[in-house]
């Protein structure tokens, strides 16, 4: 280990150039594999996927919904820090923003691969149908990505080299002083696009598995998606922080910061689970039967989707992590805390999976059968691509930017 005071923030330890280069090379190799698959999809078309006319939405849309939910840590931590004044969270907000930035840029990239005519992607803005949930998603998601970029920039400008440029130094300072405005804008936008993503499947009244009643034009899934993103997004921030600490072999954020975020997440998750269970019961008892479907029809006569997936989502990855996180003993036990945040992350991902994939798997026309799907390697590679991209961005950010304000205090060099 050696210290690089020139471009690396002062007073922190970083690994050697060689070690860093090898790490980055490995991540870049995975990234290039994904880029090649992306090239194939763009050059040869979506026939490179295993999607079909029954599965117009598949792995990519799930990945989009999942990363946006997991990136929800940025808006909700921003909301807690800047709007509710939880100052303690300033010690993790930079990282939450970076994770959010990675998640949202990944979502935009995946969408660019997913559409059949990528060069016409701008039609969604130019010929916008204001009745479509996807239009609202596109507008809010793009705007919020802009907000995340603005939130990320001051941290980049704080790199010791860049900080020496007076303009960037002052710009970063001034941006910090008005960051609450951007955080509030981000929260506003996030409430809408997280909700709209829930609306994407919730409004499908031709799909009894995902259709939900609601208030005015907003189905219940609109609110449930926002709620679950606010609950599980911070869990993902905690999880990625834990992974970063393990890989860098040092403490980066004090326990009381993590504990506060975990506690708030826990209560959000607990209240979300109450709402989710109520929604599921109403759907099973009223909505679906009115459409001619019994509850068990959605969970039988197929090789994959059984009751296990509902139990996994609600009990194992919902009630259990909520119970751990809302109790002091639970969240102060490091193993239990880690288990809880992993379960919460898996839970919200399972929720997004069923709302996309199981929705399309269920036969609606009575004389059709269940539709099964497994992704092609091109779909898998392009879905792993953002993970490699995220690893690269986080590695660069951690090495060259003062991401964690408590790092020096927690890891004194002398």
Partner 1 sequence: MKEQHGYTSTKRYGMVIDLDKCTGCGACMVACYAENNVPFKENETHKLDSLNWIRIFQLDNGKPYPDTEVCYLPMPCQHCDGIGKHGHSPCVSVCPAVATDYDYNTGVVSQIPVRCFGCRYCMAACPYHARKFNWWDPVWPADTEKYLNPDVSARMRGVVEKCTFCFQRYQQARNKAYMEGRDEIHESEYQTACAEACPTNAIIFGDLHNPDHEVAKLKDSPRAFRLLERLHTNPKVYYLSSKSWVRRAGDNYLENESKPQSGRQKIHHK
Residues that bind partner 1 (CB under 8 A): 45-47, 51-57, 114-118, 120-121, 123-124, 126-129, 131-135, 138, 200-201, 203-208, 289-294, 359-360, 364-368, 371
Q: Six-digit token pair at 25? A: 């090379």
| Closest separation in Å from C-beta 163 to partner 1 | 42
Nearer to partner 1, 122 or 167 (CB): 122
| Closest separation in Å from C-beta 67 to partner 1 | 18
DSSP class per residue in 245-283? HHHHTS--S-HHHHHHHHHHHHHHHHHHHHHHHHHHHHI
Nearer to partner 1, 68 or 124 (CB): 124
Query: What SS3 state is found at 207?
Result: coil
CA–CA separation, 359 and 207 (whole Å) = 7
| Closest separation in Å from C-beta 297 to partner 1 | 8
Can you state the percent helix, strand and coil of the chain, rounding each to 5? 75, 0, 25
Closest CA to 322 of 241, 263, 260: 263
Contact 270, 331 (CB under 8 A): no
Categorise residue 253: left if φ over 0, alpha if ψ from -120 to 50, beta otherwise.
Answer: beta
| Closest separation in Å from C-beta 125 to partner 1 | 9
H helix intervals, 283-319: 288-290, 307-311
Nearer to partner 1, 19 or 47 (CB): 47
| Closest separation in Å from C-beta 346 to partner 1 | 24
CA–CA separation, 352 and 400 (whole Å) = 34
Q: How many CA atoms lie within 13 A of 292 on its CB side?
A: 7
Nearer to partner 1, 188 or 293 (CB): 293
| Closest separation in Å from C-beta 366 to partner 1 | 6
**Greatest C-alpha distance within the chain:** 73
Nearer to partner 1, 25 or 365 (CB): 365
Nearer to partner 1, 152 or 222 (CB): 222
| Closest separation in Å from C-beta 360 to partner 1 | 6
Nearer to partner 1, 120 or 334 (CB): 120
| Closest separation in Å from C-beta 64 to partner 1 | 11
- Convert 103-129 to b/e letters by CB count within 10 Å (16 or more is b): bbbbbebbbebbeeeeeeeeebeeeee
Q: How many CA atoms lie within 13 A of 110 on its CB side?
A: 30
| Closest separation in Å from C-beta 59 to partner 1 | 13
Nearer to partner 1, 182 or 283 (CB): 283
| Closest separation in Å from C-beta 57 to partner 1 | 5
Provide the residue count of the chain. Answer: 414
Nearer to partner 1, 11 or 121 (CB): 121
Q: For 154-157, which contacts have Cβ atoms below 8 Å and span 24 or more sequence positions? A: 154/179, 155/94, 155/97, 155/98, 155/397, 155/401, 155/402, 155/403, 156/401
Nearer to partner 1, 209 or 272 (CB): 209
Closest CA to 44 of 118, 122, 120: 118
CA–CA separation, 50 and 376 (whole Å) = 5
CA–CA separation, 7 and 204 (whole Å) = 52
Alpha carbon of 281 to those of 188, 198, 246, 336: distances in Å? 30, 18, 41, 29
């Amino acid at each position: 280990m050696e210290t690089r005071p020139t471009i690396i923030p002062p007073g922190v330890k970083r690994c050697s150039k060689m070690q860093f280069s090898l790490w980055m090379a490995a991540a870049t190799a995975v990234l290039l594999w994904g880029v090649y698959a992306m090239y194939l999809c763009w050059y040869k078309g979506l026939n490179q996927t295993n999607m079909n006319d029954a599965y117009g939405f598949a792995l990519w849309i799930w990945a989009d919904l999942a990363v946006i939910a997991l990136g929800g840590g940025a808006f909700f931590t921003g909301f807690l820090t800047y709007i509710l004044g939880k100052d303690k969270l300033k010690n993790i907000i930079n990282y939450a923003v970076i994770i959010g930035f990675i998640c949202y840029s990944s979502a935009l990239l995946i969408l660019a691969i997913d559409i059949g005519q990528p060069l016409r992607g701008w039609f969604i803005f130019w010929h916008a149908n204001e009745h479509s949930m996807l239009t609202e998603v596109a507008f809010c998601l793009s705007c919020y990505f802009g907000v995340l970029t603005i939130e990320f920039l001051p941290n980049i400008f704080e790199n010791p080299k860049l900080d020496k440029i007076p303009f960037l130094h002052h710009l970063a300072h001034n941006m910090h002083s008005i960051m609450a405005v951007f955080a509030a804008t981000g929260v506003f936008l996030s409430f809408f696009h997280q909700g709209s993503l829930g609306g994407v499947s919730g409004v499908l009244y031709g799909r009894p598995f995902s259709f939900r009643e609601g208030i005015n034009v907003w189905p219940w899934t609109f609110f449930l998606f926002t709620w679950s993103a606010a609950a599980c997004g911070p869990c993902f921030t905690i999880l990625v922080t834990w992974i970063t600490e393990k890989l860098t072999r040092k403490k980066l954020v004090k326990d009381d910061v993590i504990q506060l975020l975990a506690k708030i997440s826990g209560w959000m998750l607990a209240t979300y689970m109450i709402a989710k269970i109520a929604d599921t019961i109403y759907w099973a008892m009223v909505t679906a039967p009115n459409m001619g479907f019994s509850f068990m029809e959605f969970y039988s006569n197929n090789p994959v989707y059984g009751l296990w997936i509902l139990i996994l989502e609600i009990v194992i990855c919902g009630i259990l992590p909520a119970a751990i996180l809302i109790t002091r003993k639970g969240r102060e036990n490091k193993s239990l805390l880690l288990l809880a945040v992993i379960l919460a992350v898996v839970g919200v991902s399972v929720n997004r999976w069923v709302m996309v994939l199981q929705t399309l798997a269920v036969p609606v026309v009575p004389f059709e059968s269940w539709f099964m799907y497994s992704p092609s390697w091109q779909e898998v590679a392009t879905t792993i691509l953002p993970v490699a991209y995220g690893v690269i961005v986080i590695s660069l950010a951690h090495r060259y930017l003062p991401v964690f304000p408590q790092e020096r205090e927690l890891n004194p060099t002398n």
